[in-house]
Amino acid sequence: MSAHTRAPLLLGLLGVCLAWAGCAQQDADGFGPGGGNEAPTPSSPCSVDEDCPDPALFFCNAATSRCEASCRTALDCGAERRGTFALGECDRNPLGCQCDEGKCVLALCAEDAACGAQVCRNGRCVAPPPAAQAATCQVTPAFAVGRQGTQTRFSVTVNDAQGQPLVPGGGIAWKASSAAVTGEEEGTEALFTVMTPERALVRIEAQVGNARCSAQLSLLAAEVEAHRVRVVVTEELSGTPLPDVLVGVSNAEGALTGTGTTDEEGVALVPASDRMNLTAFHPEYGYLTLANLDGETGGREVRMPLRRNPLEVHGGIRGQLQNRPVGPYLHMGLIGLSLPGQGVDRVEAQRRGPREAVTFELSGQVRTWSLPTNVTLATPTTAAQVAYGVPGLEGGCAEAPVAATGETPGRRAPRCGLRTAWALAGDVPTAELPPDLFGASQDTTQLLAQTIPLLRHFHSSAVRDVRFALEPIPGASQGLPDFRDTRHYTAVDLPASQMPLGFPFVVRVPSLPVYRGAFLNHSFVVGAVDVPGRGRVPLGLGLAVNVAPADPNTDLQAGLSAPGLVAVRMAPAHHGLEGHPYRLMVLASTHAATLEEPAGQAMSGVVEPLAAPLFDPRGLTPVTLSSGFLPIPEGARYNFEAVPSGMLQGRQFWFTNSSGRVGTLLRVSFTNRFGRQWTVLYEPSLETPSVRLPVPPTPFEDRTYFGDLTGTRSLLWVQALAVRAPEGKRLSLAMLAEGQTASLAQLDAFTRAFSVLDYRRPELTWLTPEADGLSVPRGSTVRVRATGFHLGPAPEGEGFVQLSFVGGVGCEGQTVRGERNTAGDVELRLPSACSGNDVSLTATLVDSSGLPLRPPVAYTRRIHIL
């Protein structure tokens, strides 16, 4: 690990596993910097512990030269132990204090159950906020479609008269405008079931105090014509029906056998067959194929949620973190907007801003890093990047919050976003920075051990409801989107120290998966909360490596009892996020904790429900996951052409994996240079290992191709998913497509494990000669770089780089196969008898048998060989 990549490690603690916007409320009872929720202590100056009132109860903080309360256990923070040096804040807090890394800190709550008759808000036990304070509310989803037997869960979010989030302790009533549906209330959530077989339009209403808000539930007739399948196409995030979507039916050979176009209700009737593929085409949305469905004996209705093309409009938040401490601190922060589900399938530009060169000075050294604009960085002498710009995902804003007017929400969602703005940021005293952070040490394990304790200086900040407009992206139509103009982004200045990561605990990471014969060498843990209508909001994190030794377990961490245990710090849900379910995402990756682009990344993750974060810094009761990692989905192949090639039929995608289980579903995504996607969902098995894609009918573009003039292949990304209902029942593609109790629009919510392999696309780049027209001597070596292509013979490799010649003397008819050097580039030695002016050298990617890839991947240089 070089000094350049080591430096962003602290930022990578935040960035890689998460990358996976109004003004913030200033909390009068906020927690201060330097560890966040420390109990007040005598702040007399000191040089050594003996300068403090009682060295048994205080220590001298070398970073601040002030006395602070010390402890070994929580009992050391109580009045009985401290006597005349009692900590009033600890004794007045109903939960007392905890001993966190030798310091007395105020204990926090993370759920109402910890507070008895009170409720937990912003980490404190308080009286339940009355529903009478509600001024506005919003029901999510604003629009849903169902039929007899369909179950739909609705949620309500509430704001007070000042527009601040309100989580009332009760007083929420739900009702339906018709007996066609029945509901079960669960506070901020309600589950409604369709009872009638008839068509109807039902209003689902929530009342919180005097605020009323509603959603629409459109009921379709239960009966479907014989030998027909009813396809219902909706917008994935809002639930609104999509008209004018062409739904194609194709057979096992990929030939289109029928089509239908959705009406104003998003409904199309198409011919049914015993084995069929359904593909939804719309120029403004990602294509979606559901493969190998049984249209005769299976469900007679299929739901297909589509996602907007991502690289056409953009919006988000911009601002600065407020009230950062002044002094000798290294400030680091990551700011984001909530994303539905894991977020790993989102386009990179939707998760963090464009990169900029950032120069700063620390410890007498000047450094330049390339950082995305959602990262903040400052040193005592340099405000390197204190302003942030964060892109956000469209959706969630189909209506404004409805007050007591009872207005009906609109069906058409404007192009805007409604998300939760969040930050994980810390101000670390420079005196506490480990010397190896910027030194020459190569000991990754030691560096990690020194870095993890610095997380106690980090805080979580959140603004639950942030609306932002979306405007066209300059250059998007040319495949060169430019995100630098953020003037239309919503101004949001998040507080720097809103809530400490006050819950240290330990997670037992499952055995790490293998990729290309080696165990994955990095693991991340993200603690989060899922907010309906907003998405997943990170609240904390942990990091581990697997290098000493490289085996199935993460390396032993300081203070923990065994390998495979990872220390995590997490904040409780706060500032309107309370009452929603906690989640742990445990990730294993090929990529280190840097902010480098994750091209070609392999990753596997487990999503675990968490009742609440706990205070267990020693890991006496580590959190154990209910499932392990899925294998990396290696072995995928696709023939991009309509004619057979090798062992594949025309336009056939084939997947086999020798590692065993691959989950419930396979999600395959092709992405062209405009960011437009074609997603395929199917259940791979020995009986159905493949699917053949149809040729899109005119006028739809074929998104399996990149969209350039030479007709090269698109980017390829494959994800395996283990999808289960909350009670643990496996959910098949047919069950999700039918949409009765779970739907494809909720796929991320039901995903309990996933693995991803970014196959990218094979590309060649000439390194030397650097340009056409240059001269090289006979027999010299030229160099190219191959990316998105695993060099080497089958079965481990995909093929080689081959050089051919046109022109010159003694050149034509010659071929040269390259060898990979230690830097990973390919060196090709020119034939000693080959010479001449204007000789064309064409580097081509060939498979293990020597045949050029189809479509071809080749790059030509015209040079002089002297």
| Banded pLDDT at 282 (limits 50, 70, 90) | very high
> Does 22 have pLDDT greater than 60?
no
> Does 444 have pLDDT greater than 70?
no
pLDDT the model gives residue 374: 92
pLDDT the model gives residue 505: 97
Instruction: Please name the residues in contact with 364: beta carbons below 8 A apart, sequence gap of 6 or more.
Output: none
Mean pLDDT to the nearest integer, 702-715: 91
> Does 285 have pLDDT greater than 70?
yes
Residue 271, preceding peptide bond in cis (omega within 30° of 0) = no
> Does 436 have pLDDT greater than 70?
no
Instruction: Please name the residues in contact with 659: beta carbons below 8 A apart, sequence gap of 6 or more.
Output: 513, 514, 631, 632, 634
More confident of the two residues 103 and 299: 103
| Banded pLDDT at 443 (limits 50, 70, 90) | low
> Does 399 have pLDDT greater than 90?
no
DSSP 270-325: EE--SSEEEEEE-TTB-EEEEEEE-TTTS-SEEEEEE-B-TTSEE-EEEEE-BSPP
Kind and range of the H or E run holding 450: helix 444-451
pLDDT tens digits, residue range 648-658? 999 999 998 76
pLDDT the model gives residue 815: 93
Q: How many other C-beta atoms lie within 10 A of the C-beta of residue 334?
A: 27
Tokens in use for 793?
């013979």
pLDDT the model gives residue 42: 55
HSE-up (13 A, CA, CB side) for residue 672:
22
Mean pLDDT to the nearest integer, 682-687: 82
Mean pLDDT to the nearest integer, 224-239: 91
Mean pLDDT to the nearest integer, 50-61: 89
| Banded pLDDT at 9 (limits 50, 70, 90) | very low
Strand duo 316-320 + 490-491: pairing? parallel
Mean pLDDT to the nearest integer, 474-501: 93
pLDDT the model gives residue 660: 55
**Secondary structure class of 589 (helix, strand, coil):** strand
**Secondary structure class of 767 (helix, strand, coil):** strand
Mean pLDDT to the nearest integer, 540-551: 90
> Does 364 have pLDDT greater than 90?
no
DSSP 492: -
Strand duo 301-306 + 365-372: pairing? unpaired
> Does 170 have pLDDT greater than 60?
yes
| Banded pLDDT at 237 (limits 50, 70, 90) | confident
Instruction: Please name the residues in contact with 185: beta carbons below 8 A apart, sequence gap of 6 or more.
Output: 172, 173, 174
| Banded pLDDT at 41 (limits 50, 70, 90) | low
Give me the domains of the chain, ranges plus CATH numbers: 131-219 (2.60.40.10), 243-295+630-761 (no CATH), 763-865 (2.60.40.10)
pLDDT tens digits, residue range 452-468? 778 889 999 999 999 99
> Does 100 have pLDDT greater than 80?
yes
Of 370, 287, 525, nearest to 8 (Cα)? 370
Percent of the chain with pLDDT over 90: 64
> Does 771 have pLDDT greater than 90?
yes
pLDDT the model gives residue 447: 64
> Does 29 have pLDDT greater than 50?
no
pLDDT the model gives residue 600: 63
Instruction: Looking at 739-809, list the stretches that DSSP marks H as alpha helix, in order from N- to C-terminal side.
Output: 747-750
pLDDT the model gives residue 325: 87
Of 164, 87, 99, nearest to 133 (Cα)? 164
Determine contact, residues 332/426, Cβ cutoff 8 Å.
yes
More confident of the two residues 720 and 238: 720
Of 333, 382, 374, nearest to 13 (Cα)? 333
Q: State the Cα–Cα distance between residues 31 and 194, nearest whole angstrom.
A: 47
| Banded pLDDT at 605 (limits 50, 70, 90) | very high
Exposed/middle/buried for residue 832 (C-beta within 10 Å: 0-12, 13-18, 19+):
exposed
Strand order in the sheet with 636-638: 636-638, 652-655, 690-692
User: For residue 703, which amino acid is it?
Assistant: R
Percent of the chain with pLDDT over 70: 88
Q: State the Cα–Cα distance between residues 744 and 756, nearest whole angstrom.
A: 18
Determine contact, residues 319/387, Cβ cutoff 8 Å.
yes
Q: How many other C-beta atoms lie within 10 A of the C-beta of residue 367?
A: 17
Exposed/middle/buried for residue 50 (C-beta within 10 Å: 0-12, 13-18, 19+):
exposed
Mean pLDDT to the nearest integer, 33-43: 51
pLDDT the model gives residue 661: 61
Please provide the average confidence, as pLDDT, over all residues in the chain.
87
DSSP 850: S
Provide the whole-model pTM: 0.89
DSSP 172-203: EEEEESSTTEEEEEETTEEEEEE--SS-EEEE
Tokens in use for 183?
């509901």
Q: State the Cα–Cα distance between residues 258 and 227, nearest whole angstrom.
A: 12
Kind and range of the H or E run holding 444: helix 444-451
pLDDT tens digits, residue range 511-530? 999 998 899 988 999 999 99
pLDDT the model gives residue 37: 58
Look-up: residue for tokens 């804040």? 89
pLDDT the model gives residue 776: 96
pLDDT the model gives residue 684: 84
pLDDT the model gives residue 807: 95
pLDDT tens digits, residue range 336-354? 999 887 666 656 666 778 8
